[in-house]
Chains A and B, each alone.
Chain A
Amino acid sequence: MVHLKIDGNTVTVPEGTTILHAAEQIGIHIPRLCYHPDLSVEGACRICIVEVENNSNFLPSCATKVHENMQVQTNSPEIRRARRDLIELILDNHPRECQTCERDGNCELQNLAYTLGVRERLFEGRRKKYKIEKSSPSVIRDTEKCILCRRCVRVCSEIQGVYNLSQLYRGFDTVVAPAYNAPMEESVCIACGQCINVCPVAAFIENNSTEQVWQALADPKKHVIVQIAPSIRAAIGEGFNQLPGTSMTGQTVTALRRLGFDAVFDTNFGADLTIVEEANELVNRLESGEKLPLLTSCSSGWIKFLEHFYPELIPFASTCKSPMSMLSTLLKTYYAELVKIDPKDIHVVAVMPCVAKKFEIQRPELASPHGYPYTDSVLTTRELVWMIKAYGIDFVHLPEQEFDAPLGFSTGAADIFGTTGGVMEAALRTAAEKLTGQPIKEINFTQVRQVKGLKEASVKIGDTSLNVAVANGLTNAKTILEKVKNKEKEFHLIELMACPGGCIGGGGQPYPPEGYYVLDPEIIKLRAQALYKIDEAKSVRLSHENKFIKKLYQDYLKYPGSEVAHKLLHTSYSPREPKGIK
Chain B
Amino acid sequence: MKQSIELDSKISNFIESCLQKPNHKSYLIAVLHKIQQHYGYLSLEHMNMVAHRLQVPTSMVSGVATFYHYFRLKPRGKYAISICLGTACFVKGADKVLEAFETELGIKMGETTPDGLFSLENSRCLGVCALAPVITINERIFSKVTAQNVPGLINKVKMEIPMTE
Q: Which residues of A contact B (CB under 8 A)?
A: 157, 163-170, 178-181, 188, 577-579, 581-582
Chain B's nearest CB lies how many Å from the CB of A205? 20
**Residues of B contacting A179 with CB < 8 Å?**
51, 57-59, 61-62
Please count how many residues in chain B sit with their CB below 8 Å of the partner chain's CB atoms: 17
Task: Tell me if B13 is interfacial: C-beta within 8 Å of chain A.
Answer: no
Chain B 50-72 residues near chain A, CB threshold 8 A: 51-52, 55-63, 66-67
Closest chain-A Cβ to B132's Cβ sits at a distance in Å of 24
Q: Contacts of B57 on A, CB cut-off 8 Å?
A: 157, 163, 166, 179, 581
Find out whether the CB atom of A164 lies under 8 angstroms from the CB atom of B59. Answer: yes
Contact partners of A578 in chain B: CB under 8 A: 1, 48, 58
Is residue B154 within 8 Å, beta carbon to beta carbon, of the partner chain? no
Q: Which residues of A contact B58 (CB under 8 A)?
A: 179-180, 188, 578, 581
A129 to nearest B CB, angstroms?
A: 15
- With A163-B57, A170-B67, A180-B47 as given contacts, are A579 and B62 in contact (CB-CB < 8 Å)? no
B interface vs A, CB < 8 Å?
1, 44, 47-48, 51-52, 55-63, 66-67
The smallest beta-carbon distance between A113 and chain B, in angstroms, is 29
Question: In the complex, are the beta carbons of B1 and A181 less than 8 A apart?
Answer: no
Q: In the complex, what residues of B have CB within 8 A of residue A157's CB?
A: 57
> Contact: B66 with A178, CB < 8 Å?
no
Distance in angstroms between the alpha carbons of A165 and B59 in the assembled complex: 6
- Point out the residue from B48, B52, B60 that lies within 8 Å of A163, measured CB to CB: B60
On whether the beta carbons of B67 and A169 are closer than 8 Å, the reply is: yes
Q: Which residues from B are CB-within-8-Å of A168?
A: 62-63, 66-67
- What are the 3 closest A-B residue pairs judged by CB atoms, nearest first? A163-B57, A179-B58, A166-B63
CB distance from B102 to the nearest CB of A (A): 14
Chain B residues with Cβ below 8 Å from A163 are: 57, 59-60
Give every chain B residue within 8 A of A181 (Cβ-Cβ): 62, 66
A104 and B59 CA atoms in complex are apart in Å by 30
Between A and B, 14 residue pairs with Cβ closer than 8 Å are A166-B59, A168-B62, A168-B63, A169-B67, A170-B66, A178-B59, A179-B58, A179-B59, A179-B61, A179-B62, A180-B47, A180-B58, A581-B56, A581-B57
Kindly list chain A residues whose C-beta atoms are within 8 Å of the C-beta of B55. Answer: 581-582
Name which residue of chain A comes closest to B110, CB basis: A169
Q: A166 to B63, alpha carbons, bound, how many Å? A: 6
Query: In the complex the two chains form, what is the Cα distance from A163 to B60 in whole Å?
Result: 8
Query: A579 near B59 (CB under 8 angstroms)?
Result: no
Residues of A close to B63: CB separation below 8 A? 166-168
Considering the complex, give the chain A residue whose CB is closest to the CB of B52.
Answer: A581
Chain A residues with Cβ below 8 Å from B48 are 578
A552 to chain B, nearest CB (A): 44
Rounded to whole Å, the gap between the CB of B120 and the closest CB of chain A is 15
A577 lies within 8 A of B1 (CB) = yes
- The distance from the CB of A177 to the nearest CB of chain B, in whole angstroms, is 8
Complex CA–CA separation, A63 to B57 (angstroms)? 26
Residue of B nearest to A161 (CB): B57
For B47, B61, B62, B67, the residue with the greatest tally of chain A CB atoms inside 10 Å of its CB is B62
Contact call A169/B56, Cβ cutoff below 8 A: no
Closest partner residue, chain A, to B1 (CB atom) = A578
Give the complex CA separation of A167 and B47 in angstroms. 16
